[in-house]
Amino acid sequence: MSKENASHGIIVTAAGTGINLALGVLYAWSIFKGAIKEAVEKGGPGAFTWDIASLNDPYAICCLVFAITMIAAGKCQDIIGPRKTAFIGGLLVGLGFIWASQTTDYLSWILGFGVLTGAGIAFGYSSATPAALKWFPPNKTGRIAGIVVSGFGLASVYIAPLSQYLLVQFGVQKAMLFYGIAFPVVVGVLSFFLVNPPSGYVPPGFIERRTNNETRSKVHPVFADVNATPLEMIKSHMFWILWILFFIGASAGLMVIGSMAGMAKTSMGEKAFLAVAILAMGNAGGRIAAGTLSDKIGRKKTLIAIFAVQAVLMFAAIPATSKGASNAFQIVFLATLIGFNYGANLALFPSYTKDLWGIKNFGVNYGIVFTAWGIGGLIMSRISQSLIAVTGDYNSAFMLAGGLLLAGTVIAAAMRDKKEEMRRELKGQLLVEKAQA
């Protein structure tokens, strides 16, 4: 890769990371939810009058719309390019926040924060990763994907304390209005740096092989793009396995992220937003670490490790968040690790999608895979909030998530990834050839 191409790739990657950093406001929902809950309990003229069991609904709908719209947004990115797609995303997010800022009505929040903001996040998110990946060779897929999506996970580091400040100083409506004005401006500026490589650009291959009789290197076919269409992808058994695994990994993490402030409030009081921010750092770190690790040891091994550890953490969280527990350090530590493992999913599954089905239709293909994230977020957020409302604690929700993750660990261990097997065989051959040379 030339220095000029590398420079362009770094700029596009930085812009994509910045856009995700702005759009990651979704993960600060637990801060807004806490303020809305207090308003419901306080009552009075103009207050929120929602059912407590419905507090997660705008967040859950946002997750679902985000995921479903990813298909159309990915197709849009493939056709009109990342710049225009990201700009559309910024406008939709702004409109969603502004709409919600003007009312306390439950349905308006569903339509504003849930539908418009969810769709806007999809357009912004779908434009960032494909553009960056096209500038780099396949052996950096996991790392680049991890860096770009880390912005989304890291967003709560600044959004959580900023949201807490805005809520205290100005209230829910004005805080939402602030974001509704700021986000389109930020995303609009960054979108101008999102560009695809020039026509005919081909990044270097993952591994180059050369025999004594060859005058030029050849890339092993296992690392060549197959460029599968969405229909071809859906017909493959690996798609359905990955979809189920993504559903499990995403839903378990989203359940914790959406309720983190409430879990931490017992022991941390008004500083509970710090737990959300620290979880976000784990979330972002997991994306970069898992993406880089999977480039080295393979996606499957990384996925198995992530699921197994996450299952253990879910069961360990039960005594930490039970009634009477007040160990702030323990809660924050668990939240960081859970965020780390959840974030890993957001680097592994786009990397898997590109590995198996190519970059040409990556936008729409990953959009289809990403529906697992949205459906998982909707179902588990609703179930967990209902369980919390009935039982008054998080035990049942953590047990459900832990059980699903154990099942996911078994599925991941049993699946056969032919591309990973070919990767290992090729590396073995190269080691033998090197030893014989």
- DSSP code of residue 218: E
Tokens 């060549």 belong to 224
Count the alpha carbons within 13 Å of 373 in the hemisphere toward its beta carbon: 26
Q: Are 104 and 42 in contact (CB under 8 A)?
A: no
Bridge partner list, 218: 209
Rounded CA-CA distance 299/302 in Å is 5
Share of the chain above pLDDT 70, in %: 80
Bridge partner list, 209: 218
**8-26 residue pLDDT tens:** 888 999 999 999 988 887 7
What is the chain's pLDDT, residue by residue, as a tens digit (437 residues)?
455 555 788 899 999 999 998 888 776 777 788 888 888 887 766 678 888 778 878 887 888 888 889 889 988 888 888 999 999 999 999 999 999 889 888 899 999 999 999 999 999 988 888 888 888 877 788 888 889 988 887 887 788 788 888 888 888 889 889 999 998 999 999 999 998 888 777 676 544 444 444 433 444 444 445 678 889 999 988 999 999 999 999 888 877 766 655 666 665 666 666 766 777 788 888 888 988 898 888 889 999 999 999 999 988 888 876 665 556 677 778 878 888 888 898 889 998 898 888 888 888 899 899 899 888 877 877 787 777 777 767 778 888 889 999 999 999 998 876 666 555 555 555 455 555 55
Q: For 8-77, what is the HEC assignment?
A: HHHHHHHHHHHHHHHHHHHHHHHHHHHHHHHHHHHCCCCCCCCCHHHCCHHHHHHHHHHHHHHHHHHHHH
What are the backbone dihedrals phi and psi of residue 208, each rounded to the nearest 5 degrees, phi first? -105, 135
Domains of the chain, by residue range, sit at: 3-197+219-436
- 106: how many CB neighbours lie within 10 A of its CB? 17
CA angle 161, 109, 47 (to 5 degrees): 80
Environment class of 329 (CB within 10 Å of its CB; exposed 0-12, middle 13-18, buried 19+): exposed
**202-219 residue pLDDT tens:** 676 544 444 444 433 444
Tokens 């197709």 belong to 75
Report the pLDDT value the prediction gives residue 116, as an integer from 0 to 100.
95
- DSSP code of residue 113: I
Rounded CA-CA distance 22/155 in Å is 7
What are the backbone dihedrals phi and psi of residue 219, each rounded to the nearest 5 degrees, phi first? -85, 135
CATH 1.10.287.1080 fits 3-197+219-436, yes or no: no
